[in-house]
Amino acid sequence: MKYLQYITLIFCLALCACNDVIDLYPASNLNTDTYYKTEAEVRTGLNGCYNGLQRPMYREWQFTELRSDNSKQGETGSQSSVNRDLSDLDMFFPSPNNQAIYLYWLDSYNNIYNANIILQKLGVTYDPAAGTNTLGKTDVIVTDSVRKQLAGEALFIRGYHYFNLVRLFGGVFIVHNPVTATEAKGLNRSSVNDMYKIIEADLVTASSFLSAKKVNQIAANDVGRVTRWAAKALLGKVYLTLNRKTDAITQLTDVQTNSGHALQASYANVFSVNTEMNSEIIFAIRYRAGGLGLGSSFGNDFAAASSGATIINGSGQGWNYPTNEFDTAFITTRTPLTYDARRDVNIGFFGANKVPYIKKYISPVVLLNDGESDWPVLRYADVLLLLAEAQGYTPASISLINQIRTRVGLPNLPATVNTVALFEQALSNERRLEFAFENQRHFDLIRFNKTLTTITAEQTIKDHFAKEYAKHYANYPAPRLTLAELQSNVNANRLLLPIPQREIDTNTGLKIEQNPGY
């Protein structure tokens, strides 16, 4: 038994190693157990919510530009799956299984989840019955003013996502604090009214929480963060969408007079990568090139197909071509043929055949899908035109439209614009050209159904199909829809997207209603 001492030693050593061996925590990542204790940590979490704004943008244009008279999926002969999925959206018969719809849904709700975590940590609770947000207890070490600032930003982000969701899908699921998987299965769709209730509450609270500083007083490091003016401008748009014109005017006027935002002298500068976050930008989703993982793919997605490196490194996909009719809408005079200054900022042409493509978001890239251009969400021009829309056919409104026209070197609206119908046509047209490819057109058309008397979304899109049919939609080999079939796809139901089938399938307990028409 002379070995016994050794054996004892081995067992002792083995035993004492135990806790070291299995009591482990991640060595390379922070975790939610221990984070969000200080102001800096909550701010880092909030920065993550801004990052979360980027993802939905990669699909949003598929629902707002393709599904309008602005753009189309260009390759009718292509049988690639991506192009066919885009065509389905373009032609208003997307499937509930459409991957882009699901991913947009998921990415939006993911960022709502991120924002909800921040709001929970800051002690902000939403009362669905009252439709208000209240400030309760928090464990975060933070001053009251900073806490409100942080909460205001998070509330804006949540409200922004819900506003997009309600416009794209109708009444969907309201999640106002982080929910467990089990809790989620107990929730069903809410009404459109309830959706707007939380959107309004979030934006109202945000605009009261956020600092009243004018845009030029904002600290350099904070440029790009949500401001009171962003909250108010968005709230104005929400009110207008609800056709609450007076409320809209109040908010928009406040922004117009007190924000310090102004039009840029040059339309091109608004979007130039050299003048990002200029005075006209009220809120933008920002991208940053340079191999940081923060660049955008829009340049490559939109550049002309088969263009090699001539437009942008890595070639274009040609997924989102301007319609032929939209290009001609920029014509100012026919003889000699001249175009609105905005055409060249928005549309480029490739090859001998001059294929038009969207140029707005193209900046030189080193890496594929690593573009610099920010995506403007709210800009001062929008506030002016929304105000015009809210005020209706008045001289003040005409003058607001003229401000926009003057900036791009166009003459004032002629005196012949002297009826409500003509005013509305002029307003719609001005918005379309001004905000070309900024994910506004589809939402505008839906809003016009309420706010304007002579323009309806359905008719506009049907007309667009008629205008483009011979040149474009007739070129689909099979299945080739007749114009009548194509137009019949456009109805009130199909203005909304289907709820992703996965969402309906995943909840095997509750029956979730699909949107009608799908």
Partner 1 sequence: MEKTLRITNVLCKIMRFTYVQMALLVLFGSISYAHDSFSQDILNQPVSINAQSVEIKKILTDIEKQTTAKFIFSNSTIKAAHKITFSAYSERLSLVLTKLLTPLSISYEVVGSRILLKKMDIRTGSVEETSEVVIPEIVKPVQVIAFVVNGTITDETTKEPLVGASIVLEGTNQGTISDENGNFKLELADNEKNGTLVISYVGYEKQSIALEGRTNISIALKEAGTLSEVVVVGYGTQKRSDVTGAVSKFKNERLDEAPVSRLDQALQGKIAGVQIQNISSEAGSTPRIRVRGLSSINAGANPLVVVDGHPVPDGLSFVNAADVESVEVLKDAASAAIYGSRGASGVILITTKGGKASKPNYTVKMSRGVKSAYKLYDIMTASDWVKLLFDEAALKSKDPSVPPLTAIQIAPLEDRAGYVIEQELRGGQSTDWQDVAIRDANVMNVEFGVSGGNKDLKYYVSGSYQNDQGMMIHSEYERFNIRSKIDAQLNKKMKLSFNINPSYIKRERPAELFQDFVRFRSWLPTRLDEKTAAWVSANPLYADLKPGDWSQARYFSGRIYSGTMPDGSAWTSGTAINPFNTANQTPIFSIEQQRITTDDYRALSSGDLTINLFKGLDFKTLASAYTSYSKGLNFSKRDATRAGDVNKGVYDDRINIDLLSESTLNYKQEIKKHSLSLLAGFTAQKTNVKDQRVTGLDYPSDEISTLNTALTVDKSGSFNTINNIGLISYLGRLTYAFDSKYLLAASFRADGSSYFAPGKKWGYFPSVSVGWIASNENFLKTVGWLNNLKFRGSYGASGNNRILDFAFVDLLYNANYPFGPGNGTSTIGQIPSRDVLSNRDITWERTFQYNGGLDLSVVKNAVEVTLDVYQSKTEQLLLRQSTMAFSGVPFTWNNIGSLQNRGVELDITTHNLRRKNFSWSTTANISHNNNKVIELGNEALILNQGERTELYMNKVGAPLVEFLGYKTTGVWVSQAEIDAARADGLNTALTPYFVSGGLKLADINGDKKIDANDRTVIGNPYPDFTWGLTNNIKYAGFDLSFLLQGVQGGDVINGDANYLEIKRTTRIYSKDRWVSPMFPGDGKTPVANVGFQNWLLTDYAVEDASYWTVREVVLGYKIPENWTKRAHLKSLRLYFSAQNLFFNTASGFRALNPEARFSTGPYNTPLIDGYQRGSFPVNKAFLFGIDLNF
Closest separation between CB of residue 93 and partner 1, Å? 7
Of residues 491-510, those binding partner 1 (CB under 8 A): 500-509
Closer Cβ to partner 1, 262 or 396, answer by number: 262
Question: What's the min distance (Å) between Cβ of 376 and partner 1?
Answer: 14
**Cβ-contact 483, 469 below 8 angstroms:** yes
Minimum separation from the CB atom of position 82 to partner 1 (A)? 11
3-state secondary structure of 71: strand
What's the closest the beta carbon of residue 344 comes to partner 1, in angstroms? 21
Q: Does 355 bind partner 1 (CB under 8 A)?
A: yes
Stretch that binds partner 1, among 127-135, 309-317, 341-349, 433-441 (CB under 8 A): 309-317
Strands 355-358 and 375-379: unpaired
**Which spans in 259-408 are helix H?**
267-271, 298-302, 324-329, 342-346, 380-391, 395-407
Q: Does the protein bind partner 1 through residue 220 (CB under 8 A)? A: yes
Taking CB under 8 A as the criterion, the residue among 123, 224, 260, 392 binding partner 1 is 224
Q: Which of 212, 262, 331, 366 binds partner 1 (CB under 8 A)?
A: 366
Subset of 114-133 contacting partner 1 (CB under 8 A) = 114, 116-117
Whether the Cβ atoms of residue 400 and residue 388 lie closer than 8 Å to each other:
yes
Report CA Rg, the chain.
26
Q: For the segment 46-105, give every residue that binds partner 1 (CB under 8 A).
A: 46-52, 75-81, 83-84, 88, 93-99, 102, 105
Smallest distance from partner 1 to CB 144, Å: 23
The amino acid at residue 239 is: Y
Provide the minimum distance between the beta carbon of 362 and partner 1 in the complex, in angstroms, as a whole number.
12
Binding to partner 1 (CB under 8 A) within 147-186 occurs at 172-173, 175, 178-181, 183-185
The single residue among 39, 58, 113, 269 that binds partner 1, judged by CB under 8 A, is: 113
Kind and range of the H or E run holding 135: strand 132-135
Residue 75's contacts (CB-CB under 8 Å, 6 or more residues apart) are 83, 305, 318
Does 316 contact partner 1 by CB under 8 A?
A: yes
Q: Which of positions 237-296 make contact with partner 1 (CB under 8 A)?
A: 273, 276-277, 286-289, 291-294
Contact status: 314 vs partner 1 (CB under 8 A): yes
Q: Which is nearer to partner 1, 236 or 314 (CB)?
A: 314
Task: Give 78-81 contacts, CB < 8 A, sequence gap 24+.
Answer: none
DSSP string, 252-272: HHHHHHHS-----SSHHHHH-
Q: Which residues contact 339 (CB under 8 A, 6 or more apart)?
A: 330, 331, 332
CB of 126 to partner 1, least distance (A): 16
Q: Is 484 in the site for partner 1 (CB under 8 A)?
A: no
d(CA 297, CA 357): 15
Cα distance between residue 159 and residue 165, in whole Å: 10
| Least distance from partner 1 to the Cβ atom of residue 21, Å | 4
Integer CA distances (angstroms), 180 to 7, 107, 183, 255, 509, in order: 50, 18, 5, 39, 16
| Site for partner 1 contains 308 (CB under 8 A) | yes
Per the CB < 8 A criterion, the answer to whether 320 and 66 are in contact is yes
Q: Is residue 475 a contact point for partner 1 (CB under 8 A)?
A: yes
Q: Is 223 in the site for partner 1 (CB under 8 A)?
A: yes
Q: Which of residues 6-35 bind partner 1 (CB under 8 A)?
A: 6-7, 9-33, 35
Residue closest to 158 by CA, chosen among 178, 144, 182, 138: 178
Place of tokens 């942008």: 312
* Contact range with partner 1 by CB under 8 A, out of 64-72, 191-199, 226-234, 364-372: 364-372
Q: Which C-beta is closer to partner 1: that of 39 or that of 247? A: 39
